[in-house]
Chain A
Amino acid sequence: MEKIIKLRKGLDIKIEGVPDHSLNAPTVAYRKYAVKPVDFYGMQPKLSVAEGDRVLAGSPLFYDKKNSKITVSSPVSGVVTEIVYGERRVIREIRIEADEKIEYKSFEPLKPEDFTEENVKERLLEAGLWAYIRQRPYDIPANPDSRPRSIHISAFDTAPLAPDLDIVVHGQENFFQAGIDALKKLTDGKLYLGVHRTKTASNVYNECKNVEICVFDGVHPCGNVGIQIHHTQPINKGETVWYVHPQDVVIMGRLLLKGVYDATKIVSVGGSEALHTGYHKILAGLNVQYLLKDNLKESELEPRVVSGNVLTGTSIGVSGYLGAYDHGISVIPEGKRFRFMGWMTPGINLYSYSRTFFAWLFRQRRYRIDTNLNGGERAFVLTGQFEKVLPMDIYPMQLLKACLAEDIEKMEDLGIYEVSPEDFALCEYIDASKTEIQQIIRKGLELVRKEVD
């Protein structure tokens, strides 16, 4: 039995609406899709299409200005109906009306034994899948001209309401293995696959070859790839590692073996405001209206629809589109309401990691947590709280203060290269001072990237 990395720190937020294991096939033809360049943080998108253009599944929609080899492709065939711009002409969405029957742009299929670094790279780049390989530090799409120290894949997601990653790769073992074999060619180091001691049951992961399997045990954020990297081989200054989501590995494997960009993925729908939670087999970039039609509980306020998990995801509204790196949506109530004398009520309906509300009397319960900030912004006062939910050999408060002070040397000393905003999401969740902690880390990383790279 290999060594189990047991992480004691962390927190599983007891939020209502964990996706049940039902898998729903589409009953209507889904037509509205979009690719959102803003999802690809770190890219400078330049359009390759215009409104009215016809695209195939796998034709490029936009490329990165800094490295034009990196493109992002359309997941469906159809017509580009609209390009939505945001403030300062940021390209927000490229909307596509899909054909009834998807036509694929064809690429030359490869056999696993023929994989080389060159042809794998070339195939991923031309089919527009490269951007799904991301790098640490900085959390940006990987640079195809470099070789990473190692590649990391987390085979389980511990975030609240996150999809069960066993389900999303079910029956895809060939493609997953092919994707792994291909990624292995891209690094001189190891390819790590992090599995959970109890949660990961799928043989797709447990019997995967060509990887170094690391067994983890613990609560969120144990499933975050950043935490796993930290405990297998921490990132030092000057090193780069890559990471990929298992479902994207499957899509890459499919591309290499079949020669088409088939963006089919299984996404979860969860949250207290969804009538039926569960999994849906769809194509990437789908408009979530299809998933939420007749599936929302009635309420006065429109619920908040989050693409991704509730800690790190993006609010997209009930008619938004699934994000590029997201594999599920969560629907939670909007918290625009006043709570009378919140400081003295017993609070049996309020979930807190601390035992300051009497909700601790009910161990097994799950809570309908809304988006209320639950307080006003204050100075940092409490200490030792972040340490309870960050299973890393890092001093979170000191690192945050270094980021705020924009002291790069101190940030490096305290381990800025090993973290990313999502690792601090739980710190942000529990912070009684209601500070935007993920943003502080993001700004810190951004500063380091500008100054050091």
Chain B
Amino acid sequence: MLRNFLDRIKPQFEKDGKLHFLHSTFEAFESFLYVPDKVTVSGSHVRDALDMKRTMITVVVALLPCFLFGIYNTGYMHFAALGQTCEFWPAFWFGCTKVLPMLIVSYVVGLGIEFVFAQIRGHEVNEGFLVSGFLIPLICPPDVPLWMIAVATAFAVIIGKEVFGGTGMNIWNPALLARAFLFFAYPSQMSGDAVWVADAVSGPTALAAMSSHTGNLPTASELFWGFIPGSVGETSKFCILLGAAILLWSGIGSFRIMFSAVAGGVVMAWIGRLTGSTDATVMQHLLSGGFLFGAVFMATDPVTSAQTNCGKWIFGFLVGLMAVLIRIYNPAYQEGMMLAILLMNTFAPLIDYLVVNRNVNRRRKRLQAVRSQVENA
């Protein structure tokens, strides 16, 4: 029935139809409902069942545990701060009222801009924003005003993505760019609420405070399960690991980046501990703040990370290293992960260039060897 309806209105959006100027929009909605009936014309006659929509949805599914827990934790923290104990559902409901509007604002603003640009360019709408738009509420503190999310999202999509040519061409991770925009544009508003500190309880500030009165130290288990204040999605390390498992098992996420980012963090935290620059243990560094969330979901963005396999190892390692380095040695920025990833995004093309150049040189050397052989003979 739905199919019949689509088939009936479709001609209006095709060439010479009176609604042709909206064809990208129609295509986006139609392909949302149905995988198109397009068949292969040239090249390989069969194609893998995986397409961009399925890829992006898989990432969203991997983010769901973090999202759902984030909603619950928002409510839980709210009532805990008021000194009340609370059942599961009221807390979850309260979280929904806080987090769902953030998600809706981010999607409406971001997708709206994507649709407009796709329309202007005559492209089909790319699915990349499904993930970016889902990430934005997850990396913001739950009390951030909705209009700020709207402005930050618009900034990230237009300046971060569309000016570079759209999906696949951007240099920086759009979601992180939105976060960075908020962080630098509205530092005072970001740290207004009593419960929700600017970067929530992230990294060294919390850890430093805790180490002074050992009684209230959040245990490794609290950090791991996530009943601590923080940005919506980043608190529960368990849910993040669940998401990582989904990404790795389905073959979408890069284990190279995840693994080496953690390795880089461990190395730097260990150095910091040896030199006495930080009181936190290596484990606390890994489990606190947005470190794991960034390593699993943000650093692995295929467009803005390094593209070569070898480059991914280097990229991930440096992200982890930088994140902890910033945390330890720069008290102005408590959370290093965001800046570390954005910084490495900037350097990713350079890393790739160096990696690919090794391959190029190998080939040139081989050619020279053959040529000199011929000359000698």
Interface residues of A (CB under 8 A from B): 13, 15, 160, 234, 236-237, 239, 304, 306, 310-313, 315, 330, 332, 334-344, 347, 350-357, 359, 369-384, 387, 393-395, 397-398, 413-415, 421, 425, 428-434, 436-439
Contact of B308 among A337, A340, A395, A438 (CB under 8 A): A395
Contact of B55 among A371, A382, A384, A413 (CB under 8 A): A382
Q: Could you show 11 A-B contacts with beta carbons less than 8 Å apart?
A: A236-B363, A237-B367, A332-B45, A340-B33, A343-B35, A373-B38, A375-B31, A375-B47, A378-B167, A380-B168, A429-B44
Contact A343–B54 (Cβ < 8 Å) = yes
Contact A354–B251 (Cβ < 8 Å) = yes
Interchain residue pairs A-B with the least CB separation, the first 10: A375-B51, A379-B168, A342-B35, A350-B49, A339-B35, A338-B34, A343-B53, A354-B251, A383-B307, A352-B49
B106 close to A (CB within 8 Å)? no
Binds A, one of B64-72, B120-128, B335-343: B120-128
Residues of chain B within 8 A (CB-CB) of A335 are 37, 39-40
Contact A376–B51 (Cβ < 8 Å) = yes
B312 close to A (CB within 8 Å)? yes
B191-244 at interface with A (beta carbon < 8 Å):
none
* Cα–Cα distance between A313 and B46 once the two chains are bound (Å): 11
Contact B50–A374 (Cβ < 8 Å) = yes
Residues of chain B within 8 A (CB-CB) of A425 are 43-44
Task: State how many residues of chain B have any CB contact under 8 Å with chain A.
Answer: 60
B81 close to A (CB within 8 Å)? no
Most buried by A among B38, B45, B363: B45
Contact B37–A439 (Cβ < 8 Å) = no
Interface residues of B (CB under 8 A from A): 3, 27, 31-40, 42-58, 124, 126-128, 166-169, 249-252, 254, 256, 302-303, 305, 307-309, 312, 352, 356, 359-360, 362-364, 366-367, 370
* Cα–Cα distance between A160 and B57 once the two chains are bound (Å): 29
Contact B34–A340 (Cβ < 8 Å) = yes
Most buried by B among A350, A352, A377, A414: A352
Residues of chain B within 8 A (CB-CB) of A347 are 49
**Can you add 14 more A-B contacts, CB < 8 Å, to A310-B45, A347-B49, A354-B250?**
A352-B48, A353-B48, A354-B48, A372-B38, A372-B47, A375-B52, A376-B51, A381-B126, A381-B128, A384-B254, A397-B307, A414-B356, A429-B47, A432-B52
Known: A236-B367, A376-B51. A311 touches B46 (CB 8 A): yes
Contact B47–A374 (Cβ < 8 Å) = yes
Residues of chain B within 8 A (CB-CB) of A374 are 35, 47-51
Residues of chain A within 8 A (CB-CB) of B352 are 398
Residues of chain B within 8 A (CB-CB) of A371 are 39-40, 45-46
Residues of chain B within 8 A (CB-CB) of A312 are 44
* Cα–Cα distance between A421 and B35 once the two chains are bound (Å): 27
* Cα–Cα distance between A387 and B3 once the two chains are bound (Å): 38
* Cα–Cα distance between A398 and B256 once the two chains are bound (Å): 19
Known: A334-B39, A372-B35, A425-B43. A379 touches B166 (CB 8 A): yes
Contact A315–B48 (Cβ < 8 Å) = no
* Cα–Cα distance between A339 and B57 once the two chains are bound (Å): 16
